[in-house]
A and B are shown apart, each in its own frame.
Chain A
């Protein structure tokens, strides 16, 4: 009798060991062929501290969308990347870039409460994440349920942004910084596309400032991509395109006006108002050039040509 029990438990144990799809660490350790991880000797490896220094919040999938919503810009599905053909992406390079692009689109959809439309984008994101072996960070069923019910937008936003953060942390912790950099670039280029396309139609100072200030952020994004630019032709090509966008920013001026911050207490919270200010000077012609090139790069990344 005891022997039978042992056998049954052993079978359960074996089954549990081989069915841990949600255990990221175990899955990662067992199955990484690391085709997308680049040996340290082959890259101009940034120190871990330097990468960590530049990586937080370079591109947020929701901040640009929140600005557009606060400007009362109507939602437009025309800005979204098509989900058709996402199944045919074969390289990890393209999967990672598109994961970032769709992540930004998901943020745009969710901020505008267009959750019904986001199920399609979510399905694609899940497939791409699985393809990159980071699908375990997407609680797809919960996200889908929240999207379909429209019941709790805050939870939906939290879960989706948190999933991206977890993927990013996981990739960097597991020497897959090249994939993380691609995903961040995808989020950035889609946010940049969205902001610049809207700015061409709506003259808004806050949005223009946000676009102009990408000059600062783009420098760090290039630093993030630089170690991997020699790793493949497509990586090199991406780096060159991002450098071209950066070159379009050469004439954009960002200056600072110094002032002391003010602190006060409000409703039991401490509030600090920063009076120091960054000031962006960007002409209409510069904005148009940046918008045109950003769209071109974004379209190339989506088409893969």
Chain B
């Protein structure tokens, strides 16, 4: 009985320590910001986790609205979590009109980041999704290019 109690107590005491040794989402954000390259300054990050699309249904999308400013250059980077089934991509919309996507479904080409040279201040919608509607997790980072 005492042995079991000892094991249980040890497990409860050390589980949080073991968990903290695992890579946190913040590590993924940091590495994604790093991958955005030199001469960039981090502005925002979005943590994305989406389920697999049901059969014959549209791919799940994470949407975020963000103000982008005229005369600024932005870099939108996407990074997949280790073990993510799906590959994350971003599509940027301006009032419902598609501006750019980091994935071209007709050529199946995917970019790890897209640059947007903004000439119109306004609220833009960022759509994050996984290729083929796969289940997945990852982060999207927004940096300004200096």
Contacts and interface: CB of A to CB of B under 8 A. Distances in A.
B88 interface: no
Chain A interface bracket (under 10, 10 to 19, 20 to 34, 35 or more): 35 or more
Interface in B44-100: 44-45, 64-72, 75, 94, 99-100
B42 A157 contact: yes
B115 A270 contact: yes
A241 interface: no
A162 B45 contact: yes
Contacts of A62: 41, 43, 144
Given A56-B67, A270-B102, A278-B119, A10 B43 contact: no
A272 interface: yes
Contacts of B6: 2, 5-6, 9
A23 B75 CA distance: 32
Given A56-B64, A213-B70, A272-B99, A16 B118 contact: no
A56 B74 CA distance: 15
B9 interface: yes
Given A13-B12, A57-B66, A274-B120, A158 B42 contact: yes
Interface of A: prevailing SS: helix
A66 B117 contact: no
Contacts of B75: 269
A270 B100 contact: yes
A38 interface: no
Give the one of B44, B71, B100, B121 with max A CB within 10 A. Answer: B121
A210 interface: yes
Contacts of A5: 6
A67 B146 CA distance: 9
B102 A274 contact: no
Give the one of A70, A157, A158 with max B CB within 10 A. Answer: A158
A272 B43 contact: no
Interface in A232-277: 254, 256, 261, 263, 266, 268-277
A188 B65 CA distance: 18
Contacts of B94: 274, 276
A124 B100 CA distance: 41
Interface string B117-130: 11111110000000
Interface string B16-45: 100000000010011001000000011111
A43 B99 CA distance: 37
A271 B117 contact: yes
A292 B44 CA distance: 31
A12 interface: yes
Contacts of A52: 64-65
Interface in A1-40: 2-3, 5-6, 9-10, 12-13, 16
A111 B41 CA distance: 9
Given A9-B6, A261-B100, A63 B72 contact: yes
A46 interface: no
B121 A278 contact: yes
Interface in B99-123: 99-100, 102, 111, 113-123
A235 B16 CA distance: 40
Contacts of A274: 94, 99, 116-120
Given A10-B9, A278-B121, A272 B115 contact: yes
Contacts of B100: 261, 263, 270, 272
Contacts of A261: 99-100
Contact of B41 (A66, A210, A263, A277): A66
A261 B120 CA distance: 11
Nearest to A23: B16
In the A-B complex, the 7 residue pairs with the closest CB atoms:
A213-B121, A56-B66, A272-B100, A278-B120, A271-B115, A57-B67, A270-B114
25 contacts: A5-B6, A6-B5, A10-B9, A54-B65, A56-B64, A57-B67, A57-B142, A154-B41, A157-B41, A158-B33, A158-B41, A161-B41, A161-B42, A165-B44, A209-B71, A209-B121, A210-B121, A213-B121, A269-B113, A269-B115, A272-B100, A272-B114, A275-B119, A276-B119, A278-B70
